[in-house]
Every structure is written in C-alpha cells, then in structure tokens.
Amino acid sequence: MTNLVLSGGRLIDGLGGGKDIATVVVEGQTITEVADSAQYAGRPGYQVIDCRGKTIMPGLFDVHVHLGGGDVVAGIDDYRTSRRMDEPIAMHAYRTLEAAQRALKSGFTTLRDMSSREFVDVHLRNAIAEGVVVGPRILCSGPGITMTGGHVWAKCVQVDGPDEVRKEIRRQIREGVDWIKVMGVT
C-alpha cells in the first residue's frame, strides 16, 4: 500500500466545508492528517503529488449501478441481446471489471451493484479486496430474485413460494452477497 501526500489542492471535505489550499496525508487507505498549507516537508517512503490547481475530495458513492456485463448495447430492443446475456461468463466478467474501473476513474470509490450473473460481482469484489485487480469497493447482490416469469426473469433466479425464497437467500448468503436484490413485479 502506498503512502501519499496530496499537496496544495483545494479541499472539499464532504461535510459542507473545505479549504482553499490544503495538504492531505494518506497512509495506506487512511487519511491521517489534513494541513492548511501547500507546503509539506514530505516523509521518507511517501509519494508526494502536487495538487495545486486541482480539487481533493472524498470518493463518490453510486448506490444503484448495473455493472454486470458492462454497458447496455444501444439501439437493440431485445433484452437478452442488449444486455449480452448469451455471452460466455468470462466475457461478462471482463465487461463487468471494465465498468467498475471506469466508475473508479470517474471518482466513484464505492458502488452498490443491482444484480449480476453467477456472482460475478462477488468474485470481482473479492479480487479487488485481494489486490488481484484495481477497482472500487463493491456492495454485491449476486443474481436478483424474482418469481417465475417475473421482472427480468432471464437475468434472475426464479423462485416461487416462501420455501424457495428462503432456500435461495440462504444460497446467496453462502456465496457471500452483501445484500439481497428482490425484483419488483412490473
């Protein structure tokens, strides 16, 4: 993990305040110091980044994203085709990673994913946490749950009745989801 000094940038603190010129010290993933100055007598082992003319701010959260399979194919009305649901799962995973990395580059450090084939979101979250790939924090739902023929049934696990719902939720918890996505009936 890299230790950073973000020096001389405009600071937005995420609480409605900020500073015109500030230096932020980050050790690993923790902000350890905020100074009212553009000057910083760095420490050995710290990477200093000149932020003059730039803005330093907390990472953004998007609590409703559809990372699974990447962007929807524009101009196609068929749901399965526009969401590339017949693509091999490995290609689905690559597109999901690309979507997560694009969100991170746009400033989103935490995403809550709304449903993913075969727990691709859970595996991506774990790969990011282990340092295998770079990406944002992801709160995962795994595949959504719907009734037989329900909303986006082709992308979800179809269950009927309380016993099937309980069994599927238990399976999803075992697979490591952070939350359960129940599709509304539309």
Q: What share of the chain has pLDDT > 90, as a percent?
A: 69
pLDDT confidence tier of residue 142, bands split at 50, 70 and 90: very high
Say how far apart CA 18 and CA 14 lie, in whole Å.
8
Q: Tell me how many degrees the CA angle 177-121-13 measures, rounded to the nearest 5.
A: 90
pLDDT tens-digit profile of 86-118? 899 999 999 999 999 999 999 999 999 999 999
Please compute, for residue 94, the number of CA atoms within 13 A of its CA located in the half-sphere on the CB side. Answer: 5
For residue 49, report the phi and psi dihedrals to the nearest 5 degrees: -115, 120
Residue 40, pLDDT above cutoff 80: no
Residue 143, pLDDT above cutoff 70: yes
Q: CB within 8 A of 78, min separation 6: which ones?
A: none
First-to-last alpha carbon distance for the chain, in angstroms, is 46
Higher pLDDT, 48 or 1: 48
* Domain 60-175: CATH class, spelled out: alpha beta
Q: What is the mean pLDDT of residues 156-181?
A: 97
pLDDT given at position 1: 66
Looking at every residue in the chain, the average pLDDT score rounds to 91
Q: Length of the chain in residues, anyone?
A: 186
Residue 186, pLDDT above cutoff 60: no
Q: What is the mean pLDDT of residues 146-164?
A: 92
Domain positions in the chain are 3-56, 60-175
Q: Does domain 3-56 have CATH number 2.30.40.10?
A: yes
H or E segment and range at residue 13: none
Please compute, for residue 166, the number of CA atoms within 13 A of its CA located in the half-sphere on the CB side. Answer: 3
Tell me if 178 sits within 8 A of 140, measured CB to CB. yes
pLDDT confidence tier of residue 153, bands split at 50, 70 and 90: confident
Tell me if 23 sits within 8 A of 37, measured CB to CB. yes
Which amino acid is it at 103? A
Higher pLDDT, 138 or 81: 138
